[in-house]
Every structure is written in C-alpha cells, then in structure tokens.
Amino acid sequence: MLDANEVESYNTDWTKHYKGTSSIVLRPKCTQDVSKILAYCHTNHIGVVPQAGNTGLVGGSIPMSSSEIIVSVERMKDIISFDPTTGILTGQAGGILQDWQDYARDNRVILPIDLGSKGSCCIGGTVSTNAGGQYYARYKSLHANVVGLEVVLANGDILKFNIQETDKDSNSGCTVFCNLKDNTGYDLKHLFIGAEGSLGIITKVALWCSSSYPQSRCAVICACTSLEQVQKCLYLARQTLGETLSAFEFMDRSVTHLVANSPNSVTSQGNAATMIPKRISSTSGTDGDDSEFYPYYILVETHGSNGLHDDEKMERFLEESIQQNAVEDGVLAQDLTQLESMWAVRESCNPTVASHGYTYKYDVSLPISDFEDFANDLRRRLDSKCSSLDIAITNWGHIMDGNLHFNVTTLGKFDMEPKVLEALEPYIFESVIRRGGSISAEHGLGQAKNKYLPKVHGASTLALMKTIKQVMDPHGIMNPGKYLPLQL
Amino acid sequence: MLDANEVESYNTDWTKHYKGTSSIVLRPKCTQDVSKILAYCHTNHIGVVPQAGNTGLVGGSIPMSSSEIIVSVERMKDIISFDPTTGILTGQAGGILQDWQDYARDNRVILPIDLGSKGSCCIGGTVSTNAGGQYYARYKSLHANVVGLEVVLANGDILKFNIQETDKDSNSGCTVFCNLKDNTGYDLKHLFIGAEGSLGIITKVALWCSSSYPQSRCAVICACTSLEQVQKCLYLARQTLGETLSAFEFMDRSVTHLVANSPNSVTSQGNAATMIPKRISSTSGTDGDDSEFYPYYILVETHGSNGLHDDEKMERFLEESIQQNAVEDGVLAQDLTQLESMWAVRESCNPTVASHGYTYKYDVSLPISDFEDFANDLRRRLDSKCSSLDIAITNWGHIMDGNLHFNVTTLGKFDMEPKVLEALEPYIFESVIRRGGSISAEHGLGQAKNKYLPKVHGASTLALMKTIKQVMDPHGIMNPGKYLPLQL
C-alpha cells in the first residue's frame, strides 16, 4: 500500500512540470495481472496511464484527470533469458535500463541502447517512447533491435510477437526463443514501439544485442569554433574511425560553461570538467567573446574489439582533425576513468540546466546546417519578447543523428513564465517544420507536443493513426489525452 | 505496348512455379499515375498485383486470377537525392538494387542491404518483402534503415512518411529531406515493410546508408566437420573480427558439391570453385563419406576502414580458429578478385540447384542447434515416402541470423511431383514451428506460405492483421489471395 507522498510521486514527472491527481496506482507483478486490470478498465471505461521509470520529458506518464488510474510496471523487472547464440536478451518491461546493460555486459555483449536516465528508466518505457540516445547511429534504433514483444491490449488480450516461452504462465525461470528473421505477416510490434502506451501496455521485451561487448573504448573531447568545423570533424570521424565510431555528442558553449561550474560534473573520480579543452587567453576574445570556452564541443567515442587498433585509429583521427583544421583542440581520455568523466560532463547537461531555473525543453530533428540559425533566431525572439528576464539558451544533442536538445532556462526563476512559453510556442515548432525537421526527435509527444501533430502530418496519415487507435482501443482508455490529440 | 510474350513474362515468376493469366500490365512512371490507377481499381473493385523486379520465391508478384491487373513499378527508377551529411539515399521504388549499391558506393557509403538477386530486384520489392540478405547482422534490417517511405494506398491516397520533397509533383530533379529521428505518432511506414503490396504500393524509399564504404574487404572460406565447429567458429569471429564482421554464410556439402561442378561458379575471373578448401585423401572417408568436400563451409567477410588492421584481424581469426579446432581448413582471399570469386560460389547456390531439377524451396528460421536434426529428419521422411526419386537436399543460408535456406531438388525431373510436395508440406512447417522457428525468415508469404499463417499466430494477432488489412484496403483489391489467406 502506498502512502499519499508515494502516490504523489507517481503523479509528478521528472521535470516537475506535469502534475496529476490520480489516487490509484496499481503495480502488477505479471502479465496476467496487467491483463486483468486492462480488461476491467476496458469494460468499465476507466482511463489508464501506463508508467515505467517515469523519466520522460513530455508528460506522457502523468495522468490528466483524477478519474484515471496509474498502472506501473516497475515491479515487473525479471530478466527472463539470454540466448548466447543470437545475443537476444528477454525480460519484463519494468527492468531498469542500467540493469539490462550490466546483464548484457556480464554476457559479453553490449546493450544497443544507452540513455542519460539509464539508472532509473525502464526497458518498457524506453521501447514505448522509442528512445534514441547516444549510440543510435552505431547500434541503430529500437525498430532494429526490438525483435520480440509481449503486449497487453486495451481489452486485456495478451499478444506475443516473436516471443515463445517454454512455460507460458511463469514470469521467471523459463526460457524464451525468438527468431532474428521472421516474415510471417504484418510486423505489428512496430506499432507499439514509440506509441507511449496509447495502444496497450508492453509487458516483455526481447532485445537483440548483436555486438560483442567492446574490448576497448576510446574517447576524445574536441573543441570547434564553428558548425562547419563540427561537420568536417564528423566527416573525418566517419572516415578514420569507421566502424568503431559509437558516439559523436555535441555541446555548445553555454551548456559547457554551466556544466563546468556545476557540482553535477564532479564525480567520485574528481572534477570531470578538467577534461574540457579551454581557450588560451590569446585566442579567447577574437570572436567577440571572452569566454574561456570554445563555441562548440564534441565528445567522440569509439567501441572496438582490438585496443591497439582502436587507439591507433583515435590518435590518427585527432591528428588529422587538428591538421585539417577540423578542430581547435582535443583532449584524449587516457583511461576508462577519464572516459567516464567525459560522459559525466555530457550527461550532466540535463540536471545542470534544471538546477539553474525553469527549463523549456525541446527535442527536435533539424538539418545540421540549420542548428545555428535556428538557435540564433530564437535568441533574438526571446531578447525582444522577454527582455526583462535573464535567459540562458543551451544546446546539446546527438548531432550525428541531426538531433538537437534545445533548452531555454529562466535563470534563478523556477516557475513557468507564460510570456516565455508564448514567445516559444508554437513559433518554435513552426520553425522546425519550416526547416524540414521533426518536432519530436526522440522524446515523444506525451501531453507536451501532441496538439501540434496536425501541423506535422497530412490528413490521410492522421486519419489512419486515428483509425488504428480506435480499432485497438475502442473505448479510448489507454493514456487518454496523450499522444494523439483528443480533437483529432 | 507489350506483346504476348512480354505479358507472359510478367505472369511468370523466377522459379517458374507460379504462372498467372493476367492480360493487363500497367507500368506507371510516377506516383500520381500509380495513384490514379489504384483509385480507379478501388472504385471498380479490380484486383491489383504490385510487381517490382519479380524475383521473389513465394509467388507474391504473380496474379492468381485473370481478372487482376499487374502494376509494375519498373519504369519508376530515378534516384532522387543523396544527403551526404546523413547518408540518406532516396529514390523511386523501381530502382535496381545494384544501381542503388553503385550510387551509394560512388558517394562513399555502403548500401545496408545486399541480396543474390541484386542485379534484377528493385528497391521497392526489397522493402515490400522485408528482404534480409547476407549483411543483415552487420547493417541491420530494413526496419532500421528505411527511414522514409512514400506509399499509395488502395484508394489512391498518397502518404509520405518522413519524406519531404522540395518539388512535390516532380519525380526527379528535386531534393528530399528526411529526419533520422522522428517520434511524431505511430510509425506507420513499418506496416508496409514486408506487407508484399497487400496494403498499398511503395513508390519511393529513403534508405539510411550510415556506414562509410569499406576501405577494405577481407574474406575467408572455412571448412568445418560439424555444426558445433561452425558455432565455435562464429563465436571466434565475433570476438576477433568484432565490429568488422559483415557476413558469415553457410553452405553444406551437397550444395558445395553441386556448385563446384557447375558452370554457374565459373566467372570471368576463372573458376570460383578453386577457392573451396577440399579434404586431402587421407582424411576423406573417415566420417563414412568419401566426398572430397567437408560437411560444412562458411564464407566469412569483413568490412573495415583500415586495411592493415582488417588484414591483421582476419589472419588472427583464421589462426585462432585452426588452433582452437573451430575449423579444419581455410582459404584466405588474397585480393578483391578472389573475394568476389568466393561470393560467386555462394551466390550460385540458387541458380545451380534450379538447373538440376524442380526445387522445393524453404526459407526458415531455426535455432542453429536444430539445423542438422531438422534436415536429417526430412531426409529420412523423403527416403521413406519418395524412395523412387533421386532427390538432393541442399542447405545454405545466413547462419548468423539462424536463417536456413532448405532446398529439395528432384534431380533431372523439372516438373513438380505431388508426392514430394505432400511429403514435405505441411510437415516441414509443423517441424519448424515445433522447434520455435519461423516458417518464413526473409522470403515472405506470397501464395506459397500464407495458408499456414493460422498455425503461426494466435487468434488475437490474426484478427488484428485482418482488421488492418480491411481498414486500409476495404475492397480487398491489393494483391488478392496473397499474404493474408482469404479464409482468415
């Protein structure tokens, strides 16, 4: 039984922007229980909010009405089986991502997904939101790596897609077989990947870990003065690091400045910020900014099977990048501790900006060549419409995927300011659409962005989405008001 | 205007097993024309058989009734754009796979799919059948790499999924932008990947070529005496070749014997069969077989960015495999010509067995540990039920994916023998299902396997497939009688 404070925590999201007032939280332990709950809610037209790690950034797991119940899969955390021949890892939806990563590593394979929230997000939520993360270009999307799925539909029906258990009713102690290739009918599991619980609840996931756990990891943080340099650096990374390139993460000067001065980047191994190359005094100021930081930083990481080869590739990459003026400076991680410090810098972006004030978070896809113009345009707009506020714009993201995390923080002010929101929305989405981008790259729609869906897709596509929702959830009980807008 | 012989060729599949009697073949040149054709057929309830390269092996592109028309996309073969920043290649559905591969290579990236039929199959058919091929484990599935799709629905509606063209009505000369990450609503394009034209016609494809074109390719053909050795060899390949491993292709003794003696394996560079390691006379016969060939062969290939590193990895792999008794012998390709000869051996499996007699072809997924028992069981069954016939069973496939191509050929007899078919079906599918496998790994359902679909999926899953078909093709005009069985 949960007390009132605990129930409140299920009603509050990570950003603290979204608060629900649901008084019922159910935490089933097995698929059969999820099935019974949904069948009951289906019959009685009760709204259900599926929840896993509750780490989303778009309010997708927070109820919008007090009549809804929350169904958390957090107690369904068993790893069911690992097949060393195929590398397929299968488990319940509530498993913590970090635990899946560790389990994979212990079996000498690498989990093909990594996110900043890995310590608390769950595999079920990761799949339900089609999360991307930093290794997307290397290990590919969840549409590639989720090879089996068990879901419970709104009416309680349990569907198994390419998951066969030796003991169907047990949740542990059984083995699972999953085929890597299966072309027997519409591959319906893809509908649930990224559906944010609007079609059913994912209860089991089979994830293909096709790559051996890297024998070596190398990393460098490079400093660039322009986005042209960043793109040149990406080109060289692809050429010289080739198949070992695993991450190419982008941070702008503003967020680097905040992170470098934040306690979030101090780890048990010391201050991670010492890994960031800084401008020497004679060069700073030449671009009209006296910051000790360069305009852009890139964290480049490789995963490989041969330490000598990998070190050689990374050294050659840094040498060529400097020689060809693709980077101004670079710091090479000398060991795994330094490499982890570099990741601590990158992963502290989110908590650091949150600690400085209310943050309007946008996760968009854009042509890389538009990143700067997009940010400058919004800077000018905020300067003119919200000049009385001290606002920081910070940018970071997965630039190899064209994925920009654009953040606007009202420094020192921790409440939402309507005039900032008005200045930003819907302008920011219109700007993204005009540039050919996506208004949600990897964070999903939830209740934050779903109202903009009609601006994104044509009428036929929207009608088809609506029909699929109606067919699979005829009473509209699954995550009401999220994902597809009500007025669709 | 096509003459009668030409119309017949559209009515006959590659295997010559399936013959249609349609008298109308339409070959539109643009999406708008496809739309007009389908809208007309939708209104008038005329069955439409979508066709691309007509290289399928399950009769999916051959009409089942003379009242149906064939719509071939073969004249829609423009490549529309290539984005060097993301590596996304976009073009019309009728482009030949080999042309797309060459175009990608000329732009220094590798197309993430390769098939034996690349010289005649089209990208639209490749996507519509969710083809897998030899690089599946390395470059991943089409669900990973198809990032944008344009399709025409049964009613003529044109849907664009993550494809934006600067000039919407033109089929060439325009540029296309596609986002690598896009989480804005149900990802409906996945429904069309592998739907075999049962939901609409794919008219444009945007394919993510995320990897640089390999600077080096290395290959070896290894000989093994048991499947245990093959699996040990796969384990060592993953460990020592790591991220460079691109293919691990399997051939059994029977097919190797046929191929080595076939004119199909003689290329312009000489006889490819000289690349196959043979048993020396003192060892042959110890397993009760005096064949000069080993029981199993594996073609291992790597793609990498550094020739020196890649050679070193491949040499180490072969050394360790021999030392650890994972292989009996191995021949290393000394140059690209030898490497291509090795692929000529592998790719001549299909035409070679076809040249020896009528071939019953099965493309299944199975646990690797079941390959041998599965084949032996069928051998015994055929020996007992069809003892009067001279039958060759040949096996090859993509063993890294658990994908076995199992072939039964009546040597010297080129007509289908009902008693062979009766001995094989449905027994073979039941055997696959009992072992947890898939009755169609990568070749699809077409008219060959769709009747077995009810044996594969549960009632809820089948009902959902049927509903999706009804919603998207209410008059049932798209590829009638294929894919979903009529009685579903």
Q: What is the mean pLDDT of chain B?
A: 93
B118 HSE (CA, 13 A, CB side): 19
Which chain A residue lies closest to B465 (C-alpha atoms)? A186
Q: Name the phi and psi angles at B450, rounded to 5.
A: -65, -25
- Tally of CB atoms within 10 A around B479: 29
Q: Which of B160, B153, B170 is nearest to B50 (CA)?
A: B153
> Is the predicted pLDDT of residue B446 greater than 70, yes or no?
yes
Q: What share of chain B is helix, strand, coil (3-state, %, to 5)?
A: 35, 25, 40
User: Which SS3 state, helix, strand or coil, does residue B76 take?
Assistant: coil
pLDDT number for residue B267: 63
Closest of A74, A176, A164 to residue A125, by C-alpha:
A74
Chain A environment of B161 (Cβ under 8 Å): 461
Check if B336 contacts A (Cβ < 8 Å): no
- Both A165 and A282 in a single domain? no
3-state SS record for chain A: CCCHHHHHHHCECCCCCCECCCCCEECCCCHHHHHHHHHHHHHHCCCEEEECCCCCCCCCCCCCCCCCEEEECCCCCCEEEEECCCCEEEEECCCEHHHHHHHHHHCCECCCCCCCCCCCCEHHHHHHCCCCCCCHHHHCCHHHHEEEEEEEECCCCEEEECCEECCCCCCCCCCEECCCCCCCCCCCHHHHCCCCCCCEEEEEEEEECCCECCCEEEEEEEEECCHHHHHHHHHHHHHHHHHHEEEEEEEEHHHHHHHHCCHHHEECCEEHHHHCCCCCCCCCCCCCCCCCCCCEEEEEEEEECCHHHHHHHHHHHHHHHHHCCCCCEEEECCCHHHHHHHHHHHHCHHHHHHHHEEEEEEEEECCHHHHHHHHHHHHHHHHHHCCCCCEEEEEEEEHHHCEEEEEEEEECCCCCCHHHHHHHCCHHHHHHHHCCCECCCCCCCCCCCHHHHHHHCCHHHHHHHHHHHHHHCCCCCECCCCCCCCCC
Question: Based on the domain organization, do A142 and A281 belong to the same domain?
Answer: no
Residues A6, A137, single domain; the answer is yes
User: Across A259-273, B252-266, B372-386, which has the greatest mean pLDDT?
Assistant: B372-386
Residues A180 and A221 in one domain: no
For the beta carbon of residue A349, count every other beta carbon within 10 angstroms. Answer: 26
End position of a domain, from candidates A312, A347, A382: A347
Q: Confirm whether B449 is domain-assigned.
A: no
pLDDT digits (tens, 9 = 90+) for B278-298: 998 655 555 666 789 999 999
Same domain, A104 and A187: yes
Q: Does the structure show a pLDDT above 70 at B92?
A: yes
Query: What pTM did the predictor assign?
Result: 0.95
Identify whether residues B298 and B410 lie together within a single domain. Answer: no
CA A405-A387-A380 angle, to 5 degrees, is 50
Closest CA to A377 of A318, A456, A434: A434
- Residue B168 confidence class, pLDDT cut points 50, 70, 90: very low
Cβ proximity of B138 and B241 under 8 Å = no
If one counts every other C-beta atom within 10 angstroms of the C-beta of residue A383, the result is: 12
CATH of the domain at A303: 3.30.70.2190
Q: Tell me if residue B452 falls in helix, strand or coil.
A: helix
Q: How far apart are the first and last CA of chain B?
A: 38
**Domain total of chain A:** 3
- Residue A26, classified by CB atoms within 10 Å of its CB into exposed (0-12), middle (13-18) or buried (19+), is middle
Same domain, A309 and A243: yes
Tell the residue number behind the tokens 């068990």, with chain if given. A150
Structural domain contains residue A455: no
* Contacts with B, A 206-225, CB within 8 Å: 210-212, 214-215
Q: Could you give the ipTM of this predicted complex?
A: 0.95
- Per CB-CB distance under 8 Å, the chain B contacts of A199 are 186
Looking at CA atoms only, how far is residue B269 from chain A in angstroms? 30
Note whether residue A408 is domain-resident: yes
Cα dihedral: A102, A92, B140, A222 (round 10): -40
Would you say residue B480 lies in a domain? no
Indicate whether A373 and A336 sit together in one domain: no
**Which of B208, B225, B250 is a domain's end point?**
B208
Closest Cα in chain A, distance from residue B284 (Å): 30
pLDDT tens digits, one per residue of B396-407: 999 999 999 999
Cα–Cα distance for residue pair B256/B183, rounded to 1 Å: 47
Select from A244, A438, A449 the Cβ nearest to the Cβ of B243.
A244
Does B362 share its domain with B438?
Answer: yes
Query: How far apart, in whole angstroms, are the C-alpha atoms of residue A473 and residue A47?
Result: 11
Above 80 in pLDDT, residue B169?
no
Determine the distance in angstroms separating the CA of B452 from the nearest CA of chain A, rounded to an integer: 9
CATH code: domain of residue A440:
3.30.70.2740
Q: What is the DSSP string of B273-337?
A: GGGS----TTTTTTTS---SS-SEEEEEEEEES-HHHHHHHHHHHHHHHHHTTS-SEEEE--SHH
Average pLDDT, chain A: 93
| The pair of three-digit structure tokens given for residue A378, joined into one six-digit string | 């919004």
Spatial neighbors of A94 by CB under 8 A, at least 6 apart, are A52, A72, A73, A74, A75, A76, A77, A122, A123, A124
Cis preceding-peptide flag for A28 (omega within 30 of 0): no
**In the listed set B294, B329, B347, which residue is the last one of a domain according to the structure?**
B347
**Residue A294 touches partner B, C-beta closer than 8 Å:** no
Q: What are phi and psi of B312, to 5 degrees?
A: -60, -45
Residue B452 in any domain: the answer is: no
Q: B145: helix, coil or strand? A: helix
Q: Which of the residues A179, A239, A466 would you substitute to probe the B interface, choosing the one with the greatest number of B C-beta atoms within 10 Å?
A: A179
φ, ψ at A320 (rounded to 5°): -65, -40
* Shortest distance, CA B144 to any CA of chain A (angstroms): 5
Contact A407, A395 (CB under 8 A): yes
- Between chain A and chain B, the number of residue pairs with CB atoms below 8 A apart is 263
Same domain, B64 and B86: no
Instruction: Write out the residue range of the structural domain in which residue B402 sits.
Output: 354-444
Shared-domain flag, residues B154 and B200? yes
Answer yes or no: do A76 and A156 share one domain. Answer: yes
- Amino acid of residue A387: S
Judged by a CB distance cut-off of 8 A, whether residue B244 touches chain A is: yes
Domain assignment of residue A469, yes or no: no
Q: What tokens were used for B99?
A: 């042309």
The answer to whether the Cβ–Cβ distance between B191 and A190 falls below 8 Å is: yes
Residues of chain A with pLDDT under 50: 168-170, 172
Residue B475 in this model has a pLDDT that exceeds 70: yes
Residue A55 in any domain: the answer is: yes
447-486 of B, contacting A, C-beta below 8 A: 449, 453, 456-458, 460-462, 464-465, 467-469, 471-472, 483-484
The domain that holds A78 is classified in CATH as 3.30.465.10
pLDDT at B178 over 70: yes
Q: How far apart are CA A384 and CA B120, in angstroms?
A: 59
Q: How close are the terminal C-alpha atoms of chain A, in Å?
A: 38
The nearest CA of chain B is from the CA of A313 a distance in Å of 9
| Residue B340: its H or E element | helix B336-347
| pLDDT of B343 higher than 60 | yes
In the prediction, which pLDDT does A168 show?
44
Give the model's pLDDT for residue A273. 78
- Sort out which chain A residues have CB atoms less than 8 A from B244's CB and list them: 243, 305
B473 lies in some domain:
no
CA distance A372 to chain B (A): 16
